[in-house]
Structure 1
Amino acid sequence: MLETPRVIDNGNVGPVNSALVPRYGGEATYALLPRLRDLEAEGRRADIKVVGIPFDAGVSYRPGTRFGPGHIRQSSRLLRPYNPATDTSPFAQVQVADAGDMAVNPFNIGEAIAEIQKDAMALTEDGATLVTIGGDHTVALPLLRAASARAGQPVALLHFDAHLDTWDTYFGADYTHGTPFRRAVEEGIIDTEAICHVGTRGPLYGKKDLTDDERMGFGIITSADIFRRGVGDVVTQLRERVGERPLYISVDIDVLDPAHAPGTGTPEAGGMTSRELLEILRGLRGLNIVGADIVEVSPGFDHAELTGIAASHVTYELVTLIADRLAHI
């Protein structure tokens, strides 16, 4: 096999050089970036690791998010190294690599959570930051455990989602994609002075869902709030709430309206546009982001890669934010 030509910028190994290799050919790593194992074989380390979690044992409606990581990678082929929205080149600022997928138990949620937490700790042992592509939202709990352990304190949380995900149990199960943030509050791994849902909407089981959520410390910015108040006002509120705390960002792709992201497990009408989500994320530039995930992409329900493309761009903006912060430390 011929050697794959790559972009080398500021000493960092970047994506496959698309002037020499067509974007639709070759291995579908995230954004055509190098694999972590290949960098490590050369004695290099990665500052940001994009890792997949193919898992959907915690879903309550449509399945299929176990195929999400591969779909996001395939949909990321068109991403390019320069981000004009922020005037940065994230893959040149720091070394970014695709770390492949975690191997987690598809039949035992408890074991899967433990495996994810263990792998996240191992992947960040060298000081790297994880951006995770999933997978259902159950995976956020072990990732938050790892992020909090690495930060040495509870972390701030911005949770982009149509749903609260602070319910107690489903069919008596404590660990599902609808319960991770209640468990995180109970475990004391998130800072209840700096947690907020963004983009919520749709019917609930009862008003108690909201009162329970408020008691846990969550603020709520609904999708209707974003429409009425505008992106700038929302960004100001989020930045004030988080401050300089270590921040974890969790993005459920169903925060977008089904028109923008049909390929997800629990779609709700009246959601954000992809433009609004990307602009809000860009507005978080400079915050101390210590980890992030993008979850709930279910490719079997996608059309023309709409959901995969949206998720790949969300991942790109998250990588951009972290790379820019690391480059200026």
Structure 2
Amino acid sequence: MQLPRFSGIPTFMRVPFSSNLDALDIVLAGVPFDGGVTARPGARFGPREIRNMSTMTRTTHHVTRFNPFEACRIGDIGDVPFTDLYHLERAHDDIRRFFEPVFAAGKIALSAGGDHSITYPIFQALAPKEPIALVHIDAHTDTWDSFKGSKFTHGAPFRRAVEAGLLDPKRTIQIGIRGAQNSDEGWRYSIESGMRVVFIEEFDERGAAAIAEEARRVVGDAPVYLSLDVDGLDPVFTPGTGTPEIGGLSTRETLALLRGLDGLNWIGGDVVEVSPPYDPSGNTALVAATLMYEMLCLFAKRAGHGTPGAHSTSL
């Protein structure tokens, strides 16, 4: 971070590129894949542009004065190397194989997508002994069953994760849900399976602090994953996404929500659905990079203070 921000090979937040997992506590990774979208593609370009905009990141949080780069060993391990981009389930296998050694080594992974279908193979790579908890910020529940012959689109990852015994629906909270649908199937599945669904109207009425407390109540002390779809924010802040829904969270509300989740038993997270072709300004990627930094601060507090082996996923 001592180089001028316009120089050097761009990595997430200008951390070192490293393939040595033993030298890291937290890994940053890109998943440049949008083969699971049901409408507008472009999220395959998300990791590259988020890396580019993350060069604006500095070290120390202005509220907490916390410096995650001093607390932990953090590195960018690059992008998932795909061998079969044109078959959705085989591409998901590539994602799973990429992350398996990361979680087997007890590391926290913070990933940039890519469409939201990538979260399911990341859960598969986690291979938890017991179903994990989830904080999910999104306009959509992503618990629909199938679309045009596939059960693995970006509208289905959390339904597949529940079915596979990877995700505990009763320890799952979905925040910011809104927008008309052709069917209530996803909303109904989430609610009937036991997920806590916070529609945007409830968020507006209760506020970020109260919803953060609700999230803490739902997930408890279970190992928890944080998945943030940028369409959870209002498209005035994140226009560069494939399925925008107006009336969403503001950047300030999202920051307040994330900061209210401090101290949970974090095991990983992702920021997904950044589609740079729909936002030539780069603002969506800047928002995503900033939210990744906020998530990194949460994870780094959990991971320890630079002590090798300090973090354990307890999976």
For residue 210 of structure 2, the aligned residue among 209, 224, 233 is: 233
* TM-score, normalised relative to structure 2: 0.93
The answer to whether the Cα contact below 8 Å between 2:170 and 2:196 also exists between their aligned partners in 1 is: no
Q: 1:157 aligns with which of 134, 141, 148?
A: 134
Larger relative contact order (C-alpha < 8 A, sep ≥ 6)?
A: 2
Out of 23, 32, 41, the position equivalent to 2:14 is: 32
Per-residue CA deviation, residues 24-72 of structure 1 (Å, 9 max, x unaligned), is 12211111110013xx3xx961100000000011101111111100010
Rg comparison, structure with higher value: 1
The answer on whether the counterparts of 1:144 and 1:248 sit within 8 Å (CA) in structure 2 is no
Contact residue 86 and residue 282 of structure 1 kept, 8 A: no
Q: What is aligned with 1:109? A: 88
Aligned to 1:198: 175
Q: Which runs of 4+ in 1 moved over 4 A?
A: none
Supply the distance in 1 between the matched residues of 2:133 and 2:203 (Cα, whole angstroms): 21
Shift of 1:124: 2.6
Q: How many residues align?
A: 305
> What amino acid is the match of 2:124?
R
RMSD: 1.4
Using the TM superposition, give the Cα deviation of residue 208 of structure 1 relative to its aligned residue in structure 2, in angstroms: 4.1
Check if 1:248 corresponds to 2:248: no
Q: Deviations over 1:64-94 (max 9, x none)?
A: 1111000100010111011122221000000
Q: Deviations over 1:180-219 (max 9, x none)?
A: 1111111111112211111111002233442222122211
Q: Within 5 A, what are the aligned runs for 1:120-199?
A: 120-147=99-126, 149=127, 151-199=128-176
Counterpart amino acid of 1:242?
V
Structure 2 counterpart of 1:93:
71
Task: Quote the sequence identity (%).
Answer: 38
- For 1:216 and 1:117, how far apart are their aligned partners in 2? 25
Match of 2:47 in 1: 69
What's the secondary structure of 1:291's corresponding residue? Answer: strand
Q: 1 CA distance for matches of 2:171 and 2:111?
A: 22
Contact 2:132 2:222 in 1 (8 A): yes
String of CA shifts for 1:12-33, please: whole Å, max 9, x gaps.
xxxx30xxx3211221111111
Query: Are the counterparts in 2 of residues 136 and 177 from structure 1 also a CA contact under 8 Å?
Result: yes
Unaligned runs of 5+ in 2: 311-315
- SS of 2:28's equivalent? strand
Cα distance in 2 for residues equivalent to 1:83 and 1:208 = 41
| TM-score of the superposed pair, with normalisation by structure 1 | 0.90
- 8 Å CA contact retained: 2:143, 2:187: no
In the other structure, the counterpart of 2:313 is: none
- Tell me, in whole angstroms, the C-alpha distance in 1 between the residues paired with 2:232 and 2:198: 12
